[in-house]
């Protein structure tokens, strides 16, 4: 089962509890007609259950759904999809977006400092994520922030481009 971004958003919202279609639409910003198609697919695949008007993740099948989400190909698709949307937004509306791309030479000491800062960012985000999981009230899924960070050797990107 491959998932597109909107399907992931719906699943993630339902992960935090059962919802009716109106509240799911409000939280995810996905209109009801699209949600109905997503929900029908997940009901057919036995990932969601429907009890009266409430939708929820079928916990007997939850592991299957989330193992599917964690497959390398699905993660790769999600990152490509999110990054493409991010770039589209960046090129249209640059205010309120933090984005940078730099190609620089780094000495070993500078690379160590960079890796330390990236580690600190990662630890901060993990801490915030843990706090969010135990918080009694949760904001809407659509209120989350998305972070991209990392680096690699330019030569690796060049080699990857040459494969294609």
Domain boundary (75, 95, 115) is at 95
Cα distance between residue 30 and residue 46, in whole Å: 21
**Spatial contact of 59 and 17, defined as CB atoms under 8 Å apart:** no
Question: At residue 120, what are phi and psi to the nearest 5 degrees?
Answer: -65, -40
Q: In which domain, by residue range, is 147 found?
A: 100-163
Give me 66's structure tokens.
């989330």
Give the closest residue to 55 by CA, choosing from 25, 29, 20, 23: 20
Cα distance between residue 50 and residue 54, in whole Å: 6
**Spatial contact of 89 and 50, defined as CB atoms under 8 Å apart:** no
Reported as a single tens digit per residue, the pLDDT across 30-39 is 999 999 999 9
Do both 53 and 127 map to the same domain? no
Residue 23's SS3 state is: helix
Reported as a single tens digit per residue, the pLDDT across 36-89 is 999 999 888 888 888 888 888 877 766 766 777 788 888 888 889 888 888 887
Cα distance between residue 162 and residue 164, in whole Å: 5
Residue 107, Cα to own-chain centre: how many angstroms?
Answer: 33
Do both 81 and 27 map to the same domain? yes
CATH number, residue 14: 1.10.10.10
Reported as a single tens digit per residue, the pLDDT across 113-138 is 999 999 999 999 999 999 988 888 88
Do both 23 and 79 map to the same domain? yes
């Amino acid at each position: 089962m491959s998932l597109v971004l909107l399907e992931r958003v719906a699943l993630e919202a339902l992960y935090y509890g059962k919802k009716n279609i109106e509240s799911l639409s409000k939280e995810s910003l996905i209109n009801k007609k699209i949600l109905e198609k997503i929900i029908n697919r997940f009901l057919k695949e036995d990932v969601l259950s429907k009890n009266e008007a409430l939708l929820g993740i079928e916990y007997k099948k939850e592991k299957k759904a989330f193992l599917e989400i964690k497959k390398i190909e699905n993660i790769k698709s999600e990152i490509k999809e999110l990054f493409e949307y991010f770039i589209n937004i960046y090129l249209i509306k640059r205010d309120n977006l933090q984005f940078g791309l730099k190609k620089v030479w780094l000495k070993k000491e500078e690379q160590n400092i960079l890796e330390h800062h990236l580690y600190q960012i990662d630890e901060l985000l993990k801490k915030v994520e843990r706090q969010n999981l135990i918080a009694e009230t949760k904001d809407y899924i659509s209120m989350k922030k998305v972070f991209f960070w990392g680096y690699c050797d330019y030569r690796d990107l060049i080699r990857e481009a040459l494969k294609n």
